[in-house]
A and B are shown apart, each in its own frame.
Chain A
Amino acid sequence: MASNRKMIQKIYIHNFKSIEDVCIELGKFNIFIGSNASGKSNFVQAFKFIHDCFAFGIDNSVSMQGGWDEIQNANLPKNEKTVIEITASVEGVRWPFVWTESDRPYGAKITGAKYSMTFEHKQKMQVSDNLEMVGELIPLSKKKNSAKNIPVKIIARGYSDKKSELEIINTEGNKELPSSETKPSLFIPDLIGSGGLMPPLNKLIELIDLNDLFQEISIFDITPKNAKKGATYKGMLTLEEDGGNIALVLKDLFKDEGKKKEFHIYASQLIPEIKEIATEDIGDRTVQLKLEENYFEEKIFSGMCLSDGTANILALIYAIYFDKSQPKIIEEPEKNLHPSLIGNLVEMMEDASDSLQIMVTTHSPVMLRYINIENLNIVSRDEKGNTRISKYSSKGEVDSYLLDEFGIDEMMIEGVLGK
């Protein structure tokens, strides 16, 4: 199957913590700014919740959020459903699915998917989920004057149990294609690649597996103090949420000389004083960071001697450029950084977002100075205390004037941003 790069295009959240209703479109690089307690972290938790549902199961993920009472919005009735709906683009997924019409075979190409999960808490938790895919059926016949592509919507109700019947709707004529005419056992070597029989129809939905999209969501909230401590060998080689195992993941990364060199280039762009970053074993199966600066010959700073900002930067560089998961959500990356470095950090995140999706939460007005305003989302509370999120848009002359004269950072501090 061709590459399967997915990106979350839109998220709708209903009845989740301080969020009553939020629907927001996402791009490759997204900044969420809001004051303390505006609900930025609750928004992030919605991603974590759906990640945990796929990774650990629903009961565990509810428990990890502190139970159902903690999940539900305090303004809504107890029997209100919670809904999280994610629309994702799916690049290049060619689905070796066949529908035949008058013996003419079609393959399907999926370009987008909308997944929704609804949680209903009565006496027992009830969860239903649906996957709706959009794409087109492509005639596989190589004959001239063959049939045209057919735009379709393919719906799998009860996606996660993988037993559902597929409903295929021709979106041009809005009519359902008869499922009896699907021939899932056809052999289509050019679509399957090396060749092989088609999987059974009900297994086809596994091909557009959303597990990798949701399980790969990663959240980073770097805690420099933890990042400076040593990390034990007994641990994952993926960066932990708080960056606490940065020494271990760098030890592994630096086995590859090319990657080590790349890491140093990124680090030198944020901290030009850095001459060499390495790791050292300090006994008791523990590894810690060590660092040399250009100022001193043979003076090595290790572990807890690093500044909080340096530890934060090293963990962020790994998270941004070397951690393979995506989308990435980075909470307050500007922590402990000098304002002049924040612009460079934004530039790095924008650079990396060319090939992956990044979401950043912040309440730093300095960060606003450096971002492209189109990437800005404003998080605030309404009069009932519910979190609302809206894209920043210049509302005519008044906002443009304020932007020009005061700058977006001052507007944020004065509380007039997006008002």
Chain B
Amino acid sequence: MSEIIIFYEGGSDKKFIEIFLSEHFKKKYDKISPFKTVGMKKEERKGIIRRANDRGIEYIYLTDLDESPCLVDKRSSVSKYIGRDNPEDKIVIVCNELESWLYAGLGKEGCMKLNLPLHEKTDSLSKEEIHGIGKKCGYNSWAILKNHMINEFKIKNAIRHNDSFEYFYRKYLS
């Protein structure tokens, strides 16, 4: 039985990971175990990865670029949590934040339906910028907008409008 663990940061990412991405991973893996890393201790993460390695279970560590100046810096800081002996290609860095994947997945039709402006590339949009766009378009609650975005999300749009999602898709979902 093939199994994959997906570490993700939590917060806004939860529903997207647990519902949408898990659905797509099911095409390749028999079992998907999402783990929220927010609030997880360093030793807990290392322990899960150690046991995954022992049992030959695959894992990926999904993280936002956030304040890091570059990918190398971010990979280095994440390695601290997963153990330096583990391959860095397990770390997938979303540029800038996972919200930018959600926005990309709307495409032209989704943006029209939700009355949001279309962005050709969403990689550089931060969470705060997306929340701000939502507010300008009448969405006072991020929780509601996120729910609509997940419902309208289409992989083909996300590939087209976000380079880091395209990389992630080619590597893990296609």
- B15 within 8 A of partner (CB): yes
Task: Please pick, from B11, B131, B144, the residue contacting A262 in the complex, using a CB distance under 8 A.
Answer: B144
Interface residues of B in 123-174 (CB under 8 A from A): 131, 140-144, 147
A: interface residue count bin: 20 to 34
Q: How far is the CA of A355 from the CA of B134 in the complex (A)?
A: 13
Q: Are B10 and A370 in contact (CB under 8 A)?
A: yes
Judge if B90 is at the interface, Cβ distance under 8 Å: no
Cβ of B141 and Cβ of A409 under 8 Å apart?
no
Which of A135-143, A226-234, A345-353 forms contacts with chain B? A345-353
Q: Which of B35-43, B47-55, B58-66, B92-100 forms part of the interface with chain A? A: B35-43
Contacts of B144 in A (CB 8 A): 262, 265-266
Tell me if A383 counts as interface (CB < 8 A to partner B): no
Confirm or deny: A294 has a beta carbon within 8 angstroms of a beta carbon on chain B: no
In contact, B147 and A404 (Cβ under 8 angstroms): no
- Bound state CA distance, A352 and B140, in angstroms? 9
Q: Mark A27-66, 1 if CB is under 8 A from B, else 0.
A: 0000000000000000000000000000000000000000
Complex CA–CA separation, A354 to B127 (angstroms): 13
CA distance A294 to B161 in the complex (A): 35
A269 within 8 Å of B by Cβ? yes
Shortest distance from the beta carbon of B1 to any chain A beta carbon, whole Å:
25
A343 to B38, alpha carbons, bound, how many Å? 9
| Interface members, chain A 325-366 (any B CB < 8 Å) | 343-344, 347-348, 351-352, 354-355
What 1/0 flags go to A385-419 for Cβ under 8 Å of B? 00000000000000000001111011000000000
Q: How far is the CA of A352 from the CA of B144 in the complex (A)?
A: 11
- Once A343-B39, A369-B38 are accepted as A-B contacts, the answer to whether A354 and B143 lie under 8 Å apart by CB is no
Docked Cα-Cα span, A368 to B131, in Å, equals 25
Is the CB of A187 closer than 8 A to any CB of chain B? no
Answer whether residue A321 sits at the interface, using C-beta atoms and an 8 A cutoff: yes
- Expressed in whole angstroms, the Cα–Cα distance for A348 and B14 within the complex equals 13
Q: Are A369 and B11 in contact (CB under 8 A)?
A: no
The smallest beta-carbon distance between B128 and chain A, in angstroms, is: 10
Nearest-CB residue, chain B, relative to A346: B11
B12 at interface (Cβ–Cβ under 8 A)?
A: yes
Q: Are the CB atoms of B142 and A351 closer together than 8 Å?
A: yes
> Which residues of A are found within 8 Å of B38, using beta-carbon distances?
343, 369-370
Residue contact B14 to A369, C-beta cutoff 8 Å: no
CB pair A344 B142 closer than 8 Å? no
- Verify A405–B42 contact, CB threshold 8 A: yes
Q: Is A351 within 8 A of B36, CB to CB?
A: no
Identify B39's interface contact among A352, A405, A407, CB under 8 A.
A407
Give bound CA distance, A343 to B36, whole Å. 10
Contact, CB under 8 Å: A269 / B39: no
Query: Contacts A321-B141, A352-B141, A405-B42: A265 and B10 contacting too (C-beta < 8 A)?
Result: no
- Determine the distance from Cα of A370 to Cα of B10 in the docked complex, in whole angstroms: 9
The docked-state distance in angstroms from the alpha carbon of A370 to that of B37 is: 10
Interface size class of B (residues with CB under 8 A): 10 to 19
Given contacts A344-B14, A347-B11, contact A409 B39 (CB under 8 A): yes
Please tell me if the beta carbons of A354 and B142 are within 8 angstroms of each other in the complex: yes
A405 near B41 (CB under 8 angstroms)?
yes
**Which of B11, B14, B43, B143 makes the CB contact (< 8 A) with A265?**
B143
Are A266 and B143 CB-contacts (below 8 A) given A343-B10, A370-B10? Answer: yes
User: A residues 136-173 with Cβ under 8 Å of B?
Assistant: none
Contact among A344, A347, A355, A369 for B140, CB-based, below 8 A: A355
A265 partner residues in chain B, CB cutoff 8 A: 143-144, 147
In whole Å, how far is B14's beta carbon from the nearest beta carbon of chain A? 7
A269 touches B10 (CB 8 A): no
Alpha-carbon gap, A355 to B40, bound state (A)? 29
The answer to whether A347 touches B12, judged by C-beta atoms less than 8 angstroms apart, is: yes
Contact B143 A348 (CB under 8 A): yes
Residues of B within 8 Å of A348, CB to CB, are 143
Taking the nearest CB of chain A, how far is it from the CB of B63, in angstroms?
Answer: 17
From A269, A369, A407, A409, contact of B143 by CB (8 A): A269
For the complex, give the distance between the alpha carbons of A404 and B36 in Å: 16
Q: Tell me, rounded to whole Å, the shortest Cβ–Cβ distance linking B53 to chain A.
A: 22
How far, in Å, is A111 (CB) from chain B's closest CB? 22
Is the Cβ of A405 less than 8 Å from the Cβ of B43? Answer: yes
Bound complex: CA A69 to CA B12 (Å): 48
A370: chain B residues within 8 A (beta carbon): 10, 38-39
- Considering only CB atoms, which chain A residue lies closest to B44 in the complex? A407
| Identity of the chain B residue whose Cβ is nearest the Cβ of A407 in the assembled complex | B41
Q: Closest chain A residue to B10 by CB distance?
A: A343
Nearest-CB residue, chain A, relative to B11:
A347
A372 shortest CB reach to chain B, Å = 10
**Chain A: CB-nearest residue to B80:** A404
Task: Give the residues in chain B near A409, CB-CB below 8 Å.
Answer: 39
Q: Which residues of A contact B (CB under 8 A)?
A: 262, 265-266, 269, 321, 343-344, 347-348, 351-352, 354-355, 368-370, 404-407, 409-410
Ordered by A's residue number, 5 sampled pairs between the chains whose C-beta atoms are within 8 Å are: A269-B143, A343-B38, A347-B143, A404-B42, A406-B41
**Chain B interface residues toward A at CB < 8 A:** 10-12, 14-15, 36, 38-43, 131, 140-144, 147
Given A343-B10, A352-B141, A368-B39, 12 more pairs with CB closer than 8 A:
A262-B144, A266-B143, A266-B144, A269-B143, A343-B36, A343-B39, A347-B11, A348-B143, A354-B131, A355-B140, A369-B38, A406-B41
